[in-house]
Every structure is written in C-alpha cells, then in structure tokens.
Amino acid sequence: MDLILTNGMNLVYAVATLALIALGLAVVFGLLGVMNMAHGEFVMLGAFSVYVTQQAGLPMLAAIPLAIAVCAIVGYLVEWSIVRHLYSRPFDTLLATWGLSILMRKLVEAGFGRDYKSIDQVLPGTVDVFGIAYPSYRLLLLAVIAIFFGLLFAWYRRSNTGARIKAMVSNPQLAAAVGIDTARLARMTFVFGVCTAGLAGVALAPLVRVEPYMGIDYLLSSFFILVVGGLGSLEGLLIGSSVIGGTDTVISTLFAKTSGYMAVLLISILFLWLRPDGLFSRR
Amino acid sequence: MERRLFIKLAGSAAAVSALPAFGTALAADPVKVGVLLPQSGPGGLFGPSCENAANLAVAEINGAGGILGRMIEPVFADVGGPPSDANQAALKLWKGEKVEAFVGMHDSAVRGALTNLFKGQVPYIYTPVYEGGECSAGTFVLGETPAQQLEPVIPWMAANKGASKWYLIGNDYNWPRDTNAAAKGYIEASGGTVVGEEYLPFTADNFDSNLAKIKSSGADAVLITLVGGASVGFNRAFASFGLPDTVVRLGTLIEENTLAGIGAENSKNLFSSAGYFANIDTPAATAFSDAYHGKFGADAAALNSLGESCYEGLKLLQAMAEKAGSLDVAELENAAEGTSYDGPRGRATMSERHVSRDIFLAEADGAGFKVVETFPAVSAGRNCS
C-alpha cells in the first residue's frame, strides 16, 4: 500500500514538473513555431539565478525576479536580433537557436566554471502524507504548479491578450489587418515563453544538478511532450506530460529505468511517424 | 642588454641541465610525451585539473634533470569525444609530432581504440579509475580497479556500518556492470546479500522509481556507480527523501566535484573509496597540494582523483624509464614488473602492468572528504586471464 502511494505521488510529481519544464517550449514552439533549441539553456539561467542569490546570502524567493529579469532581457534581445527575422522559417530558427544554446552554455561556463553548483535545500525534511514520508519542498512545488497552471489556463481563455495570441496563431495576416500589432505580440509571447522556462529552472534548482550543460535533458523531454501532446494548446501540454511522465514512471517502476526511457523514445517515434499532430492539436 | 640576458639565460640553463646529467643533457633532444585528456564532452570537467597536474609533474621532473637526461615536452590533445576522434588525435601526435610515450586520462571506449592503434609499439600509461581487465602489451595501468576499491572496503562497511543488504545502482555501461560483478563476490564473502541491482541510462534525471525500490527492498547500504551529473541528481534526491538516516552510501567514483554538486547537507552517511582525495593527510599529499595551488593559484581547478592521476602518470613513466634505462617499449615491458615510485597517493608498485597501492576510504564531511581508513598496498587483482 505504501509503495503504491509513493509511486502514485512520484507519478503526479513527474507529470507536474514535466509540464512546468515544457511550458516554455510549448509557448515558443507551439504558438510561434520557433523550435527553440536554447529552451534548456533558459531553464539553466533560472537555476543559476538561484545559485547567484544564495551566494549573495539572499532567500530563494529573490531568485524569481532575478530569473525573470535575466530571461526577459536575454529573450528580448534574442527575439529582436535573431528570431524575428526567421518566423515562418522553422529550420533556420532551429539552427540559429542551436548556435545560441552553445553560446549561452559557453558564456555561463566562462563566468561560473564547469563544475557542479550545489544549491542549498529549501524546506528540507519530509512530511507525512497518508503514512509515507514525502519531501516537503516537492509538496510545496506541486501546489505552486497546480495554482500556476490554473491561473494560466483561466487567463489564456478569458483575457484579451489570450484572444489576440490565438488570432495571431491561426491567421497572422488577418490578425494584423484587424489592428493587432503581431510583431510586438510575437515578441512578448517569446519573452513570456523563455521566462517560464527560467522559472521552471528556479523551481527545480534545489532538486537537480546545476551546471552549464544541464539544459540539454530538459530540451529533449520537452520536445517529446509536445510531439505526443500536440502544439498550440495547454490541454495538449498536460496530456503530453501525462503520457510521457506516466509511461516513464510506470515502466521504470515495473521493470527498469532503461526500459522506461526506451518506452518514451518508442512512443515519441510512433507519434512522429503515425500521428505527427499529436493527441490534442489546434493546428 | 639583450646579449647580456641571453648569456645569463644560456649560462643558467646549462648549469641546471648539466648538474644531474653531467653534461650529456646539453646534446639530448627533449622527449615529447602525449597527454590525452578530455577537454570537451562529459569528462571535460576533469580536463583542467588533469592538465595542471600534468604540467606540475613535467616542471618537477624537468627541474630534476628530466627523464634519462632529456627534458619532457608535454603535448596535450583532447580525447573527450568519440573513440574515432581520439584515435585521430593520438595518431597525429604519434606519427606527426613524434611523441615517444602517451599518458591518457579518458574513458574505456577510447582506451580500447587506442590500444588497437598503438598495438604495443609505443608506451601508453592509462591513469583513471576503471573496470579492470586491461592486458594489452605496452599498456600500463595506474587507476584503481574494482578489486582495489571494494575488496577491503566492503568488509569494513559490514563491520563498522552494519552494511549487510546491498542495493547496487549504476549507469548502464561496462564500468558499473563490471564493478558490481566484482562487488557481489565481496558482499557474499562479508556475509551480506544483494537485494537489488539496477542500471540507468545517462539521460536519467528522475530517480524516484529507483528510490522507491531501494526503500521497499529493505536495503541498508547502496553501492553507487553512477557517474557525474547522474550521481549528483541521485544523491540529492536520495537525501530529500530522508534515506541517509537509515541507509549508508558507498561510491567508487564520488570525487570532490561530484561531492560539491551533491552538497554538504545531502551527504550524510556518504562514503567514497579511491586512491586519492584532495584531503589526504600525508606529507607527500600535502606537499603535492601545496605545490599545485602554489603554481596555479588558490582557486585553480579543484584537486580530485582523476585530475591528480595525470600527475601520477608522468611519475610512473619516469620511474619505469629510469629502471629500464630506455623509453623503448620492449625494454619498458621487461623492466616494468616491480617498478615503484612515491607520489601523492603513497608508494605504488607495478605488478602485471597494474599497480598495487594504498586505498583510502573517506566519509563526506561538509564540503570535503575525511579519510576514515587507509588500506595499505592493495593489489589490483588479476587482470590478465
């Protein structure tokens, strides 16, 4: 019974964190069509924001504004200098952001060194949940992710900006014709996407390894989620995270971690081959 | 001024090199030694400390007259990529730069490619911790084998830490698998049992299913052969679930960088077994550490067993060459058995192209390691079968 509960909690945790990690790519790739190969590097910038604030003796919450500021500035500059010239040229954005990811890794390596950075635990210790000991910080993180996605979902459905983004995504020319400043809207959407990637990095920093090359894994898992879930909707993102996270957790628990990873790869390949639009696509 | 400086320099250079070798050194060409190390890829973290350590060894050896009266000229090459690239880099040094000996600190896949390339025609010293079993002619191995890291340590863990039910977890390749194969024998001999064994892909960053299995298996000890980032992530998650209070951890490749990533508060009851730690408290190790930081600064790349092994590699080359009176690979082969030298790790003695040496068991203590037991002159086991 305890084991089932532990594995159940782990499943929820895996799905929630995957959705958080993939959100930034879902926005940038799903809405703007920019396959941002530097997605993981923005997660890395968020994690390093926590390192910097802890080194300065500040509480972890101070990392949130820092990460937003850093990712917004870098994201704005990248959109303005590179990405805006390449909309509707997906392969070129892929190459350009791939180069950008190398540059970001190397700059952080030059500034902070290649070695692993240890982030102090936040809320150390465990809490009893129905008789099993579960790390307190993870429980807090689960609650924050749930609230965050709830607010985001409501905002995207109800707000004016959400409606404009949808208009821009489904027909950019028409959206521009009715007076929507699509260039500015696209830039803001890009900046929002990379900022959420940075926030995911902040949230995960106390739990994972932190070093300049940490981003690559996050890019891969985010990509698998979008392949399965489909582009352009929050529903697709959550479904994709559930399928990828669920498969990995269940197969890894029943068999071994290698089988779990293989199952994720197989599912992704099958989707790319047989159902390239994913399970839930607005496109 | 220029002429004066030249005369001064030439005079002192002659004096320095003439003293130990009685003048013959003046005529000798430098001996080029290829130092193969990862400057990129997953092992790139260890490139800087290895390069520093090798340069320190070269400076010391040259300062004392070189190898057989010839100054060493190190030639560095990056072998952090795939084996085919490493082969190209080594071939360039060997045939192009006329390198006369190689010292390599890289993974076993690259070692396999290099022994095929060299075919015993050039001396090659392999320095890092590895899975054992290398038996190629002309290849001399310095690194710790599973036999060295585990044979004395597992009984110690059983006697002093009550480790009896072991869970073995590692990345999915030959070093963890071979290490665990050896470990099983030592665990049985110590009266313990293996309650679980699992191998993870390098991409794994979620260890929850493994931790649940460790918990439900009732293990009281975990043998960790995860490497680098995987080890950092696993150990952090392990601690977040509160497991260190009841389960001890032993790793055979948890060095200073990995420990820094794990963090002091996540490293309770974490042990590491190796031939070198930056905190070994012996005169030789302290002198080495002082010289290293004196030469490269207080915040030079942190010392660790892999980086330091590059220093040992050049020391072993010197000791073997001096015993053989030559750098010719056949003569080195004949003279190698029984060669010994003293380095930061203590005395190393060559036997079957491996070395027997002291092994240290250290416990994580804040940001560093504290040696809790030293096992003297541990044999590398049988590697040629």
pLDDT digits (tens, 9 = 90+) for A190-217: 999 999 999 999 999 999 999 999 998 8
Tell me the mean pLDDT in the region A8-24: 96
**What's residue B270's pLDDT?**
98
**pLDDT higher than 60, residue B25:** no
Return d(Cα B70, Cα B66) in angstroms, integer.
5
Quick check: B3 pLDDT over 70?
no
Q: Residue B171's closest chain A neighbor by CA?
A: A258
Q: Do A217 and B241 touch (CB under 8 A)?
A: no
User: What amino acid occupies position A191?
Assistant: V
Interface contact B262-A119, CB threshold 8 A: no
Class of CATH domain B2-144+280-351? alpha beta
Q: How sure is the predictor about B8, in pLDDT bands with cuts at 50, 70 and 90?
A: low
The verdict on a CB contact (< 8 Å) between B206 and A207 is no
- Is this complex scored with an ipTM above 0.95? no
Q: Is pLDDT at A252 greater than 70 in this prediction?
A: yes
Task: Render pLDDT for B325-359 as a digit per residue (tens, 0 to 9).
Answer: 999 999 999 999 999 999 999 999 999 999 999 99
Residue A50: pLDDT above 70? yes
Of residues B26 and B137, the one with the higher pLDDT is B137
Using a CB–CB cutoff of 8 Å, tell me whether B262 touches chain A: yes
Q: Choose from A251, A254, A257 for mutation: most chain B CBs within 10 A.
A: A257
Interchain contact, A115 vs B241, CB within 8 Å? no
Sorted by sequence, the CB contacts under 8 Å of residue A162 that are 6+ apart come out as A155, A156
Tell me the CB-side half-sphere exposure of residue A268, using CA atoms within 13 A: 18
Strands of the B124-126 sheet, one edge to the other: B72-78, B31-37, B101-104, B124-126, B139-141
Of B206, B229, B242, the CB nearest to A209: B229
From A273, A272, A274, A229, select the one nearest A247 (Cα to Cα): A229
Alpha-carbon distance A12 to nearest alpha carbon in chain B (angstroms):
11
What residues in A contact B265, CB-CB < 8 Å?
Answer: 120-121, 124
Whether A116 has a pLDDT exceeding 50, the answer reads: yes
Chain B residues within an 8 Å CB radius of A217: 203, 205
Interface contacts A/B by beta carbons within 8 Å: 100
Question: Alpha-carbon distance B281 to B370, whole Å?
Answer: 9
Interface of B with A in 221-250 (CB under 8 A): 229, 232-233, 236-237, 240-242
Mean residue pLDDT of chain B comes to 92
What's the CATH fold of domain B147-274?
Answer: Rossmann fold (3.40.50)
Task: Give how far B207 is from chain A: nearest CA, Å.
Answer: 9
Q: What's residue B171's pLDDT?
A: 94
Q: What percent of chain B has pLDDT over 70?
A: 93
Domains B2-144+280-351 and B147-274 share a fold: yes
Q: Is B261's CB within 8 Å of A13's CB?
A: no
Domain boundaries, chain B: 2-144+280-351, 147-274
Residues of A in contact with B258 (CB under 8 A): 116
Nearest-CA distance from A218 to chain B in Å? Answer: 9
Q: Where would I find the H helices in B92-249? A: 108-118, 146-150, 153-161, 174-189, 208-217, 229-240
A74 pLDDT more than 60: yes
- When the pLDDT of each residue in chain A is averaged and rounded to a whole number, the result is 94
Mean local confidence (pLDDT), A180-185: 94
Half-sphere exposure of B151 (CA within 13 A, CB side): 16
> Which B-chain residues 267-326 have CB contacts (< 8 A) with chain A?
302
Distance from CA of B258 to the nearest CA of A (A): 7
Candidate from B45, B208, B236 with C-beta closest to A13: B208
Contact by Cβ (8 Å): A253, B210: no
